[in-house]
Structure 1
Amino acid sequence: MKKIIIALLALITFIQISCSSDILDNTPTANPVDVYVVGQKNSQAAYWKNNQEVLLNNGIGCEADTLMVSNGNIHVFGKKQLDNWTTQFMHWKNNVATNLTETFNTPAQFVRTITGMDVVGDDVYFVGYTKNPLITAEIYDLVYWKNGNKTVIDIATNPTFKSKIKVVNNNVYVIGNKSNCFNNCHGVFVNGVFQTVPVGVLLKDITVKDNQVYVYGTNYTTNSVYYKNLTTGTESNITSISNAFKLLFDNDNLYISDGSNIYKNNTVINSSSFFSFYKDFVVLNDNKYILKSEGDFGTTDILYINDVNSLQVFISDGKFNTITVVQN
């Protein structure tokens, strides 16, 4: 009888786990990490930490785009589309909201857009474009803010380009376009000094390997992946991959996603179907964390940890945008 009771208890426990309403799997990895996913849930900016949902205060109508953890503080960058077709940009620190558009606006310069964030220690950086409201011409300033203090990098005429910012060893790297130039007008500003990339290259983002800074993107002249080590000046092209949606390094391996596939050292390790695509991915200590949109033209966003479905949300309920993995 005692054995029968034990067997029944085990069966009940199994049924309770199997019938859970959350389709989640806290799949263990080789090293303990915190996995953050940011996006939107029920029309409110949100993030998930190790599958636990956090709705962001004053985030109704907003969606979260980027999350960074520094000195134990959680920083989230997001936005809200207003009824007058303008965008309001938001920052949450430990779930305390700041309206960046209102904070950074001045009578002489209005915020046109904010396109990126970086956090180093307790210093918070944003990059974007501002405009003098008294000037009708489409002339903007490419700027960044450090703890709310603005630095003008250059004059800009295209505020739709999504500039990115990265701060490494007190050096500020900003992807953007140079004004008053003839040919090589696209590249990266390093502490305000412009470095060009070849004509035909459009940079996507900045990544770091062993304290060395790389910019990467797509060479549309040759339909290939381009990346450059800004520390050594070495430029590389991968002709077997047509474009760079994301590029990163882990344990001396090079990972690239073109949106449809993920490559490790130029070999496909994950591939999507016609109706699915990759939204973001991180590789840390050989463990893969992937955000993928699946179903009929992306009806479900899914977090895969080492190819196991660990968290998902239907588009009627929300969306996932990016993923952050923090080593404990």
Structure 2
Amino acid sequence: MKKLISLFVILLTISCCNVDDLNTSTQNPVDVYIAGVKNYSATYWKNNQPYLLSGGDGGEANKICVSNNNVHVLGKKTSDNWITVYLHWENGNLTNLNTSFNTPAQHVHSITDMEVVGNDVYFVGYTKNPLIAAEIYELVYWKNGVKTVLDNNINNPTFQAKIKVVTNNVYVIGYTSSCFNSCHGIYVNNVFQSFSVGVLSKDITVKENQVYVYGTITTTNTGFYKNMATGVETTLTTIPSVYKLLFDNNNTYVADGVNIFKNNTQIYSSSFFSFYIDFIALNNNVYILKREGDFGTFDALYVNDVNVFQIFVDQGKFNSLTVVQN
């Protein structure tokens, strides 16, 4: 019994860490933001402090961006008629994206990504004509609510289209209907550039304003990343797929969906009792969200291998994070 009480005290202490714990093992102070769920409501945390989002009951926060000290959260929930409703909060102020973006001719099918640059807010996703039964969708993005159609004849809206904006150039990973063999690629300022057959890109990252796409070469089961400006492609023969790519100082971080590597050296490996949800590398510090315990009993934030914050699954969960240098 004494052992159980001691374990509870330890876990409670970990769960109630304050902001100082976040910066104990880092050289420079940061603000750490997590998007997720608390008490069955969309929530974000700033430095372990929860902020329940208005109108987020029964929903979840999936992505968080911070720009010009404004906090943007993308989330979703299921309505009473089983339609997925996509939600955006700016500094806690809610916008129903379905309501804002729906027109009589096109309804929001899904919002798959968000990007914030300065005061400009971008969303990418799919819309569909509600009066047509055929599975035909538009691949679109919105900048400050203004819609741009990239392709109006997409028949597979399951791909999670991604968006990145760099030096006023808009990059969107997705598919085109105007193709013969190479239907997957990237739109650069609305112009489609196809990838080679067998190349499946998962997302986009940036290093010193250089845009990189990354993913897997399905024909060889090989991970890759490619500099879009130079055309230089790096293949990773020991990694079958790149799920996340980050550059920090002179270091390259790659996650394959199970493991995380720094300069080709494994720094984290998922297991039955621990697997990563998301991670960030900034100024030589590594922040990892993990689901841990028997059958995933709690989610935790680790900073340089130190558990600084956690939540039990009966109270909520973590979905993604971002870190802002002060």
Match of 2:281 among 255, 280, 283: 283
Q: Partner of 1:256 in structure 2? A: 254
Q: What amino acid does structure 1 have at the position aligned with 2:155?
A: T
Offset at residue 272 of structure 1 (A): 2.1
Offset at residue 222 of structure 1 (A): 1.3
Match of 2:293 among 292, 295, 306: 295
Q: Distance in 2 between matches of 1:202 and 1:317?
A: 36
Offset at residue 201 of structure 1 (A): 2.0
What is the root-mean-square deviation in Å for CA atoms of aligned residues? Answer: 1.7
Offset at residue 66 of structure 1 (A): 0.7
Q: Does structure 1 residue 121 correspond to structure 2 residue 115?
A: no
Q: Partner of 1:76 in structure 2? A: 73
Q: What amino acid does structure 2 have at the position aligned with 1:32?
A: P
Q: Distance in 2 between matches of 1:88 and 1:30?
A: 41
Q: How does 1:130-279 map to 2 (within 5 A)?
A: 130-155=127-152, 156-279=154-277
Give the match's secondary structure for 1:203: strand
Q: Partner of 1:86 in structure 2? A: 83
Q: Partner of 1:99 in structure 2? A: 96
Give the match's secondary structure for 1:241: coil
Offset at residue 276 of structure 1 (A): 2.4
Q: Distance in 1 between matches of 2:264 and 2:82?
A: 41
Q: Distance in 2 between matches of 1:83 and 1:110?
A: 17
Give the match's secondary structure for 1:26: helix
| Residue pair 2:64, 2:322 contacting (<8 A) in 1 also | yes
| Residue pair 1:27, 1:310 contacting (<8 A) in 2 also | no
Q: Distance in 2 between matches of 1:195 and 1:32?
A: 40
Equivalent residues, number: 313
Q: Give the % identical residues.
A: 64
Structure 1: which 5+ residue stretches go unaligned? 1-15
| Residue pair 1:109, 1:133 contacting (<8 A) in 2 also | yes
Evaluate the alpha carbon distance shift between residue 88 and residue 120 of structure 1 in structure 2; reply closer, same or farther with a 3 A threshold: same
Q: Partner of 1:41 in structure 2? A: 38
| Residue pair 2:14, 2:310 contacting (<8 A) in 1 also | no
Q: Does structure 1 residue 317 correspond to structure 2 residue 310?
A: no
Q: Partner of 1:26 in structure 2? A: 22
Q: Partner of 2:52 in structure 1? A: 55
Deviations 1:206-261 (A, max 9, x none): 10001101111122221111111111122221111112121111112111111221
Structure 2: which 5+ residue stretches go unaligned? 1-8
Evaluate the alpha carbon distance shift between residue 21 and residue 161 of structure 1 in structure 2; reply closer, same or farther with a 3 A threshold: closer
Offset at residue 23 of structure 1 (A): 4.0
Q: Distance in 1 between matches of 2:295 and 2:78?
A: 23
| Residue pair 1:276, 1:297 contacting (<8 A) in 2 also | no
Q: Distance in 1 between matches of 2:232 and 2:12?
A: 54
| Residue pair 2:14, 2:308 contacting (<8 A) in 1 also | no
Evaluate the alpha carbon distance shift between residue 247 and residue 30 of structure 1 in structure 2; reply closer, same or farther with a 3 A threshold: same
- Structure 1 window deviating more from structure 2 (213-222 vs 110-119): it is 213-222
- Structure 1 window deviating more from structure 2 (288-297 vs 109-118): it is 288-297
Q: Distance in 1 between matches of 2:144 and 2:229?
A: 26
| Residue pair 1:27, 1:308 contacting (<8 A) in 2 also | no
Offset at residue 19 of structure 1 (A): 7.0
| Residue pair 1:81, 1:87 contacting (<8 A) in 2 also | yes
Give the match's secondary structure for 1:102: helix
Give the match's secondary structure for 2:22: coil
Offset at residue 178 of structure 1 (A): 1.1
Give the match's secondary structure for 1:101: helix
Following TM superposition, the consecutive aligned residue runs of length 4 or more in structure 1 with deviations greater than 6 angstroms are 16-19
Offset at residue 20 of structure 1 (A): 4.5
Q: Distance in 2 between matches of 1:257 and 1:133?
A: 39
Deviations 1:9-58 (A, max 9, x none): xxxxxxx9997483423342111110011100010011111111111111
Match of 2:108 among 103, 108, 111: 111
Q: What amino acid does structure 2 have at the position aligned with 1:134?
A: L
| Residue pair 2:246, 2:253 contacting (<8 A) in 1 also | yes
Q: Distance in 2 between matches of 1:142 and 1:98?
A: 21
